[in-house]
Copies of this chain bind each other. A is one copy, B any other.
Amino acid sequence: MKAAVVGGGVIGGGWAARFLLNGWDVAVFDPDPEAARKIGEVLAQARAALPRLYDVALPPEGRLDYAGSLAEAVADADWVQESVPERLNLKHRVLAEIGAAAPADAVVGSSTSGFRPSELTAKGDRAIVAHPFNPVYLLPLVELVGDAETCASAAQTLRGIGMYPLHVKREIDAHIADRLLEAVWREALWLVKDGIATTEEIDEAIRMGFGLRWAQMGLFETYRIAGGEAGMRHFLAQFGPALQWPWTKLMDVPDLDDALIDQIAAQSDAQSGALGIRDLERKRDANLVAILRALKVEDAGAGAVLRAHEAGMTRG
């Protein structure tokens, strides 16, 4: 099997690593002269982390090629993944080039975090949204949006490389997860801007509390439990009125001006600047591997996905 990765940033590199380490050949196209070095960095992190998730050996790594042109990269590909910057006219140009050169039966997935499939295909080119989460080589989630039949076949392929495809049945700007992330981001910007909390304090408020919950159950299941013996209805009755409380007033979008950017960047430097980006990545990956392995033992959430993938590899 061969995947073509068009656009070799953090996300494209993560896709390349996910496919390669699951035995696929990968051809990358990215005009950036630094692309090979950047993908090499992602691959090194993935090689150090992904195999540690499993108690069996991964298949032999596929072959990695850097193609001289987009057409060369996508020729003979079974899967083409577009991960170029988030500008619609650029996506259209790239999807047209892919459509002209890729096999007619290749799945064309777009890593877009914001655009709807109807926007991607507005010029007549085929594509589905296949939106992954960083680090792509470790996190299972991929949001699939678009033609139902293509999504169903794409889902099967993605499960084969250890991912969890979530078919989003109605298209919407930013799909599901980024809607939630965007909401948190708005609120967090206000907290920093108003001097309530630093970036570090906000991060601790997340990872010492509800972040731990959300690694294994989501929002609704957690609240169902919080409702106690009376369950979801009781929780809604209790929590419902809070939506009318005054703290819902901060729903405007703060102006992300230079002053706020400076403030966030300085706080982030103070919080994490002692470690370089590669060190932070290694730390993150070691934590994620530990969590995923722990959930594998419990056969829960992402750990259940991992367990099923491993069982598939064992059956060969």
| Residues of A bordering B, CB below 8 Å | 9-10, 38, 86, 114, 133-134, 139-141, 143, 164, 166, 168-170, 172-174, 176-177, 179-191, 194-197, 199-222, 224-229, 231-233, 236-237, 239-240, 242-248, 250-254, 256, 261, 264-265, 267-269, 271-272, 277, 280-281, 283-284, 286-288, 290-295, 297-298, 300-302, 305
Contact B243–A220 (Cβ < 8 Å): no
Contact A243–B180 (Cβ < 8 Å): no
Contact A236–B265 (Cβ < 8 Å): yes
How many Å from the CB of A76 to the closest CB on chain B?
30
Contact B197–A176 (Cβ < 8 Å): yes
Q: Name the one of B188, B236, B291 contacting A291, with C-beta atoms under 8 angstroms.
A: B291
Contact A203–B221 (Cβ < 8 Å): yes
Contacts of A301 in B (CB 8 A): 207-208, 287
Contacts of A287 in B (CB 8 A): 215-217, 294-295, 298, 300-301
How many Å from the CB of A285 to the closest CB on chain B?
10
Contact A218–B236 (Cβ < 8 Å): no
Contacts of A134 in B (CB 8 A): 225-226
Contact sample, A vs B, 15 pairs, CB 8 Å cutoff: A38-B228, A114-B245, A134-B225, A134-B226, A166-B205, A168-B201, A170-B196, A173-B246, A184-B219, A203-B221, A206-B218, A212-B291, A220-B268, A221-B268, A283-B298
Contact B208–A139 (Cβ < 8 Å): yes
- Which chain B residue shows the least CB distance to A174? B247
Contacts of A236 in B (CB 8 A): 256, 261, 264-265
Q: A197-B168, A291-B294 given as contacts; is B247 within 8 A of A218 (CB)? A: no
Contact B215–A182 (Cβ < 8 Å): no
Contact B219–A185 (Cβ < 8 Å): yes
Contact A202–B219 (Cβ < 8 Å): yes
Contacts of A261 in B (CB 8 A): 233, 236-237, 240
Contact A170–B195 (Cβ < 8 Å): yes
Q: A205-B143, A214-B215, A218-B207 given as contacts; is B269 within 8 A of A283 (CB)? A: no
Q: A114-B242, A264-B236 given as contacts; is B139 within 8 A of A228 (CB)? A: no
Contact B208–A305 (Cβ < 8 Å): yes
- Which chain B residue shows the least CB distance to A281? B225
Q: Name the one of B185, B291, B298 contacting A215, with C-beta atoms under 8 angstroms.
A: B291
Q: Name the one of B187, B226, B265 contacting A232, with C-beta atoms under 8 angstroms.
A: B265
Q: A196-B170, A277-B225 given as contacts; is B182 within 8 A of A248 (CB)? A: yes
In Å, the complex CA distance between A201 and B169 comes to 10
Contact B302–A207 (Cβ < 8 Å): yes
Contact B164–A176 (Cβ < 8 Å): no
- Which chain B residue shows the least CB distance to A255? B243
Contact A229–B277 (Cβ < 8 Å): yes
In Å, the complex CA distance between A9 and B228 comes to 9
Contacts of A211 in B (CB 8 A): 211, 213-216, 218
